[in-house]
Amino acid sequence: MKNSLHLQVITYTLMTDKKEKILQSALVLFANEGVSATSTNKIAKLAGVSEGLIFRHYKSKKGLLNAIIENAEQKVNILFGDIMMQTDPKSVILKTIEFPFLIKKSEYNYWKLQFKLKWEEEYNNPNKMKPLLDKLTWAFTQLNYDFPALEAQYMLQTLESISTEILKGNLTNQQQFKQFLIHKYSA
């Protein structure tokens, strides 16, 4: 079979099986070993494909990375979108707290890669969080918090670190911790 139809929540994409296999294999390696530590040779072997095919489909190693990042950003936007569309301030807080705990195990590698890349200047874009930060500031304002902007910043930072710990496998008491946060914000 040369082509297969893959449903991605936002767009339909036609991708050959092998092209897709390359993407998945690269994701696994990039996320767990790091981009520089992953050779195109390794990717090809894991994907069961000739090395040349990577370059036919993605032009360069960086092109492959960018393709993965685009995929990853879709997944972020889906979860973010759910928060952004809330109209009740309490729901905004609640959804935001729930956010790190909603990350599916099957998508860990996407998130791992994204968090790792934040350490590379080229891919670290703090402004990407701006809309969510504004939404949270609005929510805390509605709820009459003393320093809504700082509260928003505080919450975002906490959530980033919680996500990080979950992805590293360090947060063993996830549900307990989630309840604790909800209780703390009486959300």
Partner DNA sequence: AATTTAATAGTGAGTACTTACTTATTATAG
Partner DNA sequence: CTATAATAAGTAAGTACTCACTATTAAATT
- In the complex, minimum distance from the CB of residue 156 to a second copy, in angstroms, rounded to a whole number: 9
- In the complex, minimum distance from the CB of residue 18 to a second copy, in angstroms, rounded to a whole number: 27
Binding residues for a second copy restricted to 66-125, rule: CB under 8 A:
112, 115-116, 118-120, 124
Q: How many other C-beta atoms lie within 10 A of the C-beta of residue 164?
A: 17
38 near DNA (CB under 7 A): yes
Amino acid at 17: D
- By a kind-dependent CB cut-off of 5 to 8 A, residue 75 interacts, out of a second copy, DNA, none, with none
Pairwise CA distance, residues 13 & 172, whole Å: 37
Handedness of CA 49, 53, 57, 63 (dihedral sign): positive
Pairwise CA distance, residues 109 & 116, whole Å: 10
Residue whose CB is less far from a second copy, 4 or 39 = 39
Looking at the DSSP assignment, which residues form a beta bridge with residue 15? 4
Q: How many other C-beta atoms lie within 10 A of the C-beta of residue 11?
A: 8
Among 34, 52, 63, 131, binds a second copy (CB under 8 A): 34
Interacting residues with a second copy (CB under 8 A): 34, 36-37, 112, 115-116, 118-120, 124, 126, 147, 150, 153-154, 157-158, 160-162, 164-165, 168, 170, 176-177, 180-181, 184
